[in-house]
Structure 1
Amino acid sequence: MSATATDPNIKHLKQAREQIAKGDLKNAALTLNKANAKWPQDPRVFMLGGLLAEKSGNIKGAFEALRKAVSLSPDWGPGLLELALLLARQNQFQEAVETAEKVAALEPKNLQVLAGVVDIAHRAGHTEMAVRHLRRGLELVPGDVMLRRLLARDLSEQGHHEDSLAMWAALIAENPADTQSLVGRVQACLAAGKPADAQPDTTALLALAPQDAVYQYYDQLARGETPAQQPSELTQPLFDNMAEFYDLHMVRSLKYQLPKQVAEKITARYPDKKLNVLDLGCGTGLLGVCLGRLDGFLIGVDVSTKMVEQAARHNVYDRFHTVNLHDALRETPGGLYQAITALDVFIYAGDLTEAIPNAYRVLADDGMLVFSCETASETGPDLVLLPTGRYAHKRSHVEALCKAAGFDTVDIEETVLRHESHQPVNGFVVTAHKPA
C-alpha cells in the first residue's frame, strides 16, 4: 500500500513545505487549508502553519499554530523542535532551552534534532549545553568533522584551551589543507594567549590564499603586531549571525544604554529635529529608534546586511549603505551632516587617524561628532587589541586626533559602555564640536 493511500495529507504537506521554502506563501496557505479539510486535527498542518505565519511576519500566529501542534501531539519531536527554534529566534531562551532538552530526550538518535538543539544552545549562549549535545552527537557519528569543529570552538570559548587545541590538531592532521580547522586553531591559540603558536597555521593559510584579508589579519596577530583595523570579512558574518537577537541581548543582557543617551544629547541640541544624521555602525537601528523620525535624513552605515534588514524594520532610517565606516567616510561629500555618530563601532574599526579627520570634513559647520571607545591604559600604546578581539583606545590620543582634525571643543565622558559576564566594560564617550 502506498504512503499516499495510508496518509492522505502527505501530498499536501510536502507541497506546502516546498511552497513555504520558495516564499510562495499565498499558495502554501491554500494548500494547508486543503490538508486541514482532510484532517482537521493533523499536528503537521499546524506546524507548517506556524512556519508560514513566521515567514509572513505574523509571530503571534506562528506561536499559536506551533503551540496547537504541540498540544495535539505533546511528544511529537518535529513539532516540539520547531516551537523551540521559534522561541530561540524570538529570544525566549529559557523556554527554548527547556523545550529543546525535551526533544533531545524524546529523540536522542535523531541528528536533525541534535542540530536544532545545538543551534538553540548557541543562540541562548548556553555553551555547556552545546558541548554536552555535541559530545552526544559524536557518539552517534564518531569522527564527524562538522561536529568536531563546533565542539573545538565551544571548548575554547569555555576556556578548555588544551582540549580545544588537541581537537584542532587532530582535524588538521587528517586534512592539512582544511582552512576552517586551520583558522579554528589560530583562534584557539589567540584565545589561549599563545599567539606565536599560531604562526605555522597563518603561514599555511597565506600560502593557500595570499590576498585573503582575514588570513593577513591573523598573521599580524600571530607575529605580535596590532592590525590597524579588523577586516569586514571577519566582522560581517559575526554580526549577520547576531542580527536576530542583537537588540534584546545588548539592551537587556548587556545593559547597553548608549543609543538612548546619545539620542537625548542630539535632541537636546536640535529639539526641532531639523538635522541630518549619519549613524556609522548603525547595527539594528537602536539609535534610530531612540531618535525617531527627523525633519532631515537619517542614514545608516553597517557592514552587516542582516543588521541593516533589522534596522529597516523600524522605518526611521531614510537610506542604508552596507560598507565599512572607513569607506563610507572617505567617499561621502563634505558638509552634509549636522551629527555623526559611531556607537560601539570604533572598537572594531581600530585606527582612527583617518576616520576622525574624515568625519570632520563630512560634518556641516557647527556639527557634532559623537562616538564611544573602550579605554586603553594611558601608559600603553595608543591602540590596543584586547583578548576579546575588540580595540581599546587611549583617551589622550583620541582627544589629540580630534583637536588636530579641527574640532574646537572635545568633551570626553567616562562611562560604563555595557556589561559582559556580569562585569562592567569601561569606556568613554566623545562629543566633538566643529566650529560654526
Structure 2
Amino acid sequence: MLAPQSAAMLAQAGKLRAAGKVAEAAAVCVELIKRDPENADGLLLLGSLAMQTGATELAIGSLERAVAAAPKSADAYIRLGEALTAGKRAQDAVTVFRKALTLRPKDGAAFRGLAQAQLDAGNRDDALKSFRKVLTVLPYDQYAAHMAAALSGEPSKLTSSYVQDLFDHYSEHFDQHLTETLGYRVPAAIRDTLGRHHSAGGLTALDLGCGTGLVALELQGIVEAIDGIDISRQMVAKARERGLYRELRAGDLMEVLSRDQAFRGPYDLVTAADVFIYVGQLEEVFPAICQVLTPAGLFAFSVEHSMEEPVAVRSSGRFAHSVDYIGTLADQHGFRLLERHDMPIRHERNEPIPGALYLLQAE
C-alpha cells in the first residue's frame, strides 16, 4: 500500500515546487521519506529543493542517500555532483560525475558538471577537454562554448554571444534577483566612494554595462548627464524605461566606443559595475577609457579577486582579476589609484564572492 501513497506525495511535492512553494514541498518530501526511507525519487527531489534554498549540506546528504537507493540512476549522480561542487568538494564531485558518465556516456549535463568540478579543483587542461566534450553532445551550449574559448585563449566572440544571451533572458528579474538574492551593492558603493572624492555634482558620465540602470539610479544628484552601453538589448530597454540616460546603445562596449560619435565624450566619470567579470582581458579596455575621459577624469569599476593568476576564468563563467594586474594596467595608462575598497561583490549559494571596487583618476 505504500507505493501508491508515496507516488501521491511525490506528485504533491512536485506541484508545490512548481508553484514556488519550496518550503511546503520540502515538508512533504521529508514526510514521504519518513514513511518510505529508500524512496530515491523523494530523496532526489528533497536534495534538489535543498540546493534551491542554498542548504548545500542537506542536499549532499539527501542525494547520497538517493544514489545509495538508486545506484543505476545517472540523474542521482549528476545532482549529487552538483551539490558536492557547490559544497566546495570539487575532487569528490569529479569522482561522482565520472560515475554518472559510466552510466550515461554521452550526457551533456554530466560532462558540464565534470568540467566545472575539474576547473574548481584546479585542473584547467582536464576542464577544457570536458567542456569540449559537452560541445560534441550539445553543440549549441553557449556556456560550454564560452568556457572552452576562455580556457583556450580563443577570440572572445563566443563570450559576447554567451553574455548577451544570459542577460537578455535575465532582464525581467534582474533588479530583484541581483539586489535581494545576490546581495548586490556595487552601484551604492560607487556612489559612496565618489562622495569621498568628489563633493560637487554636475558630472558627465558613461556607464559601461549599464544593465537596467542601477548605477544611474544611485548617481542621481551627482551626475548631470549619463550615457549607457550594454550588450543586452533587453537590458537597454529596461534602462530606457527609467528615463535617466541621455544616450543608450545596445552592443559590444569596444565597438560602440570606437564607432559611435555620441560616446566619444569627454566624460568626467566612467563606471563599470560588475562588467569586467564578463570581459576577461582588459588590455584594450583601459586605453579606450582613456580616450573618452576628461583630464583628471574618474574611472570607477568592480572586479572579482583572483589570487592565482592575473585573469582567471571561474566555473561560474565569470572572470576574476588580480590586484597586480589592475595595478599594472592603471600604471601603464596613466591612472592614479584614489581608492580600492575590498568588498563582497555578490553572494553565491550563500557565500560571499570576494572582490574590490576601484576608483582611479586620469593623470
For the criterion TM > 0.5, the same-fold answer is: yes
Q: Which residues of 2 match residues 2-401 of structure 1 at below 5 A?
A: 81=16, 85=20, 97=23, 99-105=24-30, 121-134=50-63, 143=72, 145-198=74-127, 200-202=129-131, 204-205=133-134, 215=144, 218-219=147-148, 231-232=159-160, 235=163, 243=174, 244-251=176-183, 257-266=185-194, 269=198, 271-273=200-202, 275=204, 277-283=205-211, 285-292=213-220, 295-299=224-228, 301=230, 303=232, 305=234, 316=244, 321=249, 323-333=251-261, 334-335=264-265, 337-363=267-293, 367-374=297-304, 382-385=310-313, 390-395=318-323, 397-401=325-329
Contact kept? 2:305, 2:356, Cα under 8 Å: yes
Higher relative contact order (CA 8 A, sep 6+): 2
Whether 2:343 is the aligned partner of 1:417: answer yes
Counterpart of 1:48?
Answer: none
Structure 1: segments with no counterpart, 5+ residues = 1-75, 87-95
Amino acid at match of 2:96: M
Helix, strand or coil at the partner of 1:231 = helix
Structure 1-normalised TM-score? Answer: 0.58
Helix, strand or coil at the partner of 2:360 = strand
Q: Take 1:287 and 1:360, find their aligned partners in 2: how far apart are those partners?
A: 20
State how many pairs are aligned: 337
| Deviation of the 1:314 alpha carbon | 5.9
Question: Structure 2 vs 1, CA of residues 389 and 79 (structure 1 numbering), >3 Å: closer, same or farther?
Answer: closer
Helix, strand or coil at the partner of 1:85 = coil
Contact kept? 2:143, 2:317, Cα under 8 Å: no
RMSD (Å), alpha carbons: 4.8
Percent of residue pairs bearing the same amino acid type? 23
Q: Take 1:416 and 1:124, find their aligned partners in 2: how far apart are those partners?
A: 27
Amino acid at match of 1:361: Q
The Cα offsets for residues 94-124 of structure 1, whole Å up to 9 and x where unpaired, read as xx54x44323245669999989866653443
Q: Take 2:287 and 2:129, find their aligned partners in 1: how far apart are those partners?
A: 38
The Cα offsets for residues 375-419 of structure 1, whole Å up to 9 and x where unpaired, read as 556xx86434568765444545534534544x5x52242322217
132-141 or 187-196: which moved more?
Answer: 132-141
| Deviation of the 1:270 alpha carbon | 7.6
Question: Structure 2 vs 1, CA of residues 80 and 320 (structure 1 numbering), >3 Å: closer, same or farther?
Answer: farther
Structure 2: segments with no counterpart, 5+ residues = 1-10
Contact kept? 1:357, 1:402, Cα under 8 Å: no
Contact kept? 1:373, 1:392, Cα under 8 Å: yes
Amino acid at match of 2:300: V
Whichever of the two has the greater Rg, that structure is 1
Question: Structure 2 vs 1, CA of residues 351 and 150 (structure 1 numbering), >3 Å: closer, same or farther?
Answer: same
Question: Structure 2 vs 1, CA of residues 199 and 262 (structure 1 numbering), >3 Å: closer, same or farther?
Answer: closer
Amino acid at match of 2:57: E
| Deviation of the 1:352 alpha carbon | 0.9
Amino acid at match of 2:209: G
| Deviation of the 1:340 alpha carbon | 1.6
Contact kept? 2:116, 2:315, Cα under 8 Å: no
